[in-house]
Chains A and B, each alone.
Chain A
Amino acid sequence: MFKFQKEQEIVNIAGVKVGGQPGELPTVLAGTIFYDKHGIVEDSARGLFDRAAAEKLINLQETNAEETGNPHIIHIFGTTPESITRYIDFVAEISEAPFLIDSPEGTVRSHAAEYVSEIGLADKAIYNSINMSINASEIETLALSDIDSSIILGFNATDSSLQGRMELLENGAGLLEEGLLSIADSCGIVNKLIDPSITPMGNGAGVALRMTITAKAKWGHPTGSGIHNAPSAWNWLNKKREKDPVLYKICDVGSTCLQQAAAGDFILYGPIEYAPYVFPMAAMSDIMISEAVADLDIEPASRHPVNLLV
């Protein structure tokens, strides 16, 4: 393990601290709720769901976070303005934790940004994400909102190399007039969480690990990813899954460790149901990493797993 010469930023989003040197803060873990084909969702367009089951899942994540010391974020996924509004209302009612607002559609993300500003929850919301698809209308909406935390996604669809991804953030890589970091500044984003983007294995998934280290060395912003998307998009593994679901789960949950070993500060670990497996796995990595850098003058936080579990 190692230490960055560049000062590593620690951001505080609604009480959850993210970033720092490897081994300093526990990895922040975000489980997804209301995702595509989530069993608790009855009508994904309207945002109707089993409230008791959803509350149980959020509590499950919260309990695991409390036990291991790994802070948690609730990753809300919605596909329509109506559904994401309902989901935000519910999550804010159930939990004090910060939440990610995520949708594949810019209009839904924009609506969510406006909505959380309107109801006074913008300080708990993390926009997911500012990426190469952003247009003038989304920039304007975000700038007018009160949101000051966002994931900045390094997905470069024309050049998935390390250089291509870094340039997208730095100068727009010839695809945008300016870099995504500068766009984030224009949108009023103070807490920048860099996500190098997990493309499928075979299309550069591993580059994200290199970029995690490079981005932290260059900018010092908190960096992390949804690394489980690599195994979940792996067709070979998905065929094995039919015979042995445990095998799939091991790879999916285990990918967490790779991102942590590459200095990741936060992980979007996928279905929130996996919390009982992901939190101990992440805590284990955090302990090992913390011990590995003990002689590099890095002091683990008081609620770091190394101080709670061993």
Chain B
Amino acid sequence: MKTVAETWPIVKGDYTVGNPRSRIAVVTLASQINSSPEAALWGSSKTENLGVEKIIVNIISNSNIRYILVCGMESRGHLAGHSLLAIHANGVDEKGRILGSKGAIPFIENISKAAIKRFQQQVVLLDRIGLTDPDEIIKIVKRYKDQGEVYPDEPFVATSQKKRRSTFAVPLSGDIIISEEFVMDAAAGVVCQAKDF
């Protein structure tokens, strides 16, 4: 069985890639802590929405990862770590709000409920928010890097965030004047001839 998606990690971010076969990934929240190659992924996360999404996308696309160490200092107001724990424990409501999160804007836009469910099933979160001691973090990585089995399903590739939805609209007004000959419909984003309006 393939355990790592071909293009893993799927989304770019403030992280470094270590051993893709490792069972553990490390999220250092708002702290910058030197990484260890023994973790599959190691990076920061400061937001309760896009940051949480990126972690989920990159974790579920690698079935080897079974643990996430959530450590480092929490980002004030955003509560990215608390929101990651909340989505893992409770999921989201029908509007995409992370249930139980006290972060400022804890909403998910780009990933499906199936992706969230996979995240909940695939990994165990190790809640060590506030921990910044590199030695202690490395100790935890060493303890978990070979622990347990690979998740029994193939990598889950969640929707790409680079959506390019066409919302082409027919221009209905010339609300921006460019010249005597041309106008633009701001909402449609279309430049057209003034004589049409």
Contacts and interface: CB of A to CB of B under 8 A. Distances in A.
Given A3-B176, A203-B161, A175 B95 contact: yes
B186 A213 contact: yes
Query: What are the 10 A-B residue pairs with the smallest beta carbon separation, nearest first?
Result: A104-B77, A157-B107, A217-B186, A133-B104, A105-B77, A217-B175, A157-B49, A158-B96, A3-B177, A2-B178
Given A2-B178, A158-B95, A132 B105 contact: yes
Nearest to B187: A214
Given A106-B104, A157-B49, 18 more contacts: A4-B175, A4-B176, A5-B174, A5-B177, A79-B76, A132-B105, A133-B105, A157-B96, A157-B105, A157-B109, A162-B187, A166-B187, A174-B95, A202-B161, A202-B162, A213-B176, A216-B186, A218-B187
Interface of B: 11-14, 49-50, 75-78, 95-96, 104-110, 161-162, 165, 167, 173-178, 184, 186-187, 189
A63 interface: no
B174 to A, nearest CB: 7
A188 interface: no
Contacts of B14: 235, 238
Contacts of B167: 161-163
A47 interface: no
A296 B182 CA distance: 12
A241 interface: no
A110 to B, nearest CB: 13
A218 B109 contact: no
A267 to B, nearest CB: 20
A103 interface: yes
B95 A217 contact: no
26 contacts: A1-B178, A2-B176, A2-B177, A2-B178, A3-B176, A4-B176, A4-B177, A4-B186, A5-B177, A6-B175, A104-B75, A104-B76, A104-B77, A105-B104, A131-B105, A157-B49, A157-B96, A157-B107, A158-B96, A158-B108, A162-B167, A162-B187, A199-B50, A202-B12, A202-B162, A216-B186
Interface of A: 1-6, 79, 103-106, 131-133, 155, 157-163, 166, 174-175, 199-200, 202-203, 210, 213-214, 216-218, 235-236, 238, 296
Contacts of B173: 5
Contacts of A5: 173-177
Contacts of A159: 109
A104 B46 CA distance: 12
Nearest to B176: A2
A112 B174 CA distance: 42
